[in-house]
Homo-oligomer: A and B are copies of this chain.
Amino acid sequence: MADPFVVVFAVFPDLTQLDFTGPYEVLSRLPKSRTLVASEPGGLITSERGLAFETTRLAEIDRCDLICVPGGPGVTPAMGEPMFLSELKRLAHGAQYVTSVCTGALLLGAAGLLQGKRATTHWAYRDILPLFGAVRTDARVVRDGKVFTGGGVTAGVDFGLTVAAEVAGDAVAQSIQLMIEYDPSPPFDAGSPDTAPPEVLERFNAALADNLSARREAAARAAARLGLS
């Protein structure tokens, strides 16, 4: 094992930073690994909340062992970016693990990588998955063969530890969990639509409506380009 295990985070403008940083913090601690953060144009990429960070170019990466695609508002335009999607496809074909967190699953779908696969995504967007031929699965982390998908945003930490255990064994994953003191204790039980107070869920869904239909339309167009509809 002279070669490092190469992890690539494939990012894009307007991503949700925590979708990416959760698993980045976990997977970049894998022994004998190398982690790259890459976008289609390279250079500074600005997240949804305004944080700008450096990336390399996807096209400059020959191959990787694991590709991880985070989500965020920028998923909607990115589903219509053929160069970005073709880089995802190229790297995914050579990888041992093809993965996403949050609405990054919609980008795997738009790249044609979820056909026939069980997958999850952020709870609010799960019913888009079947447009890409995926089998919607309501869980925080879902594995189907080489494809691992995580739920919304903070699910990236659970996802990262699950993948770390698969790649390097339980003891390595547990040691990373201890390092990042992942012993969660949420002050409220509002993190899923099943447990959130009804009025919080209702306001959330009302605020989401436009965004959700724009995303569904972009997904339908991407699915049509794949010949799936």
A interface residues with partner B (beta carbon < 8 Å): 16-18, 21-22, 24-25, 28-29, 35, 37, 44, 49-54, 102, 122-123, 140-141, 151-155, 157-158, 161-162, 165, 170-171, 173-175, 177-188, 190-193, 195-197, 199-201, 203-204
Contact = CB atoms under 8 A, between A and B. Distances in A.
Nearest to A193: B178
Contacts of A122: 181
Contacts of A102: 181
A25 B16 contact: yes
7 contacts: A44-B54, A51-B54, A140-B185, A171-B197, A174-B190, A174-B196, A178-B200
B174 A154 contact: no
Contacts of A185: 140-141, 158
B49 A28 contact: yes
A130 B50 CA distance: 36
Nearest to A46: B54
Given A25-B153, A28-B50, A49-B24, A158 B174 contact: no
A178 B196 CA distance: 7
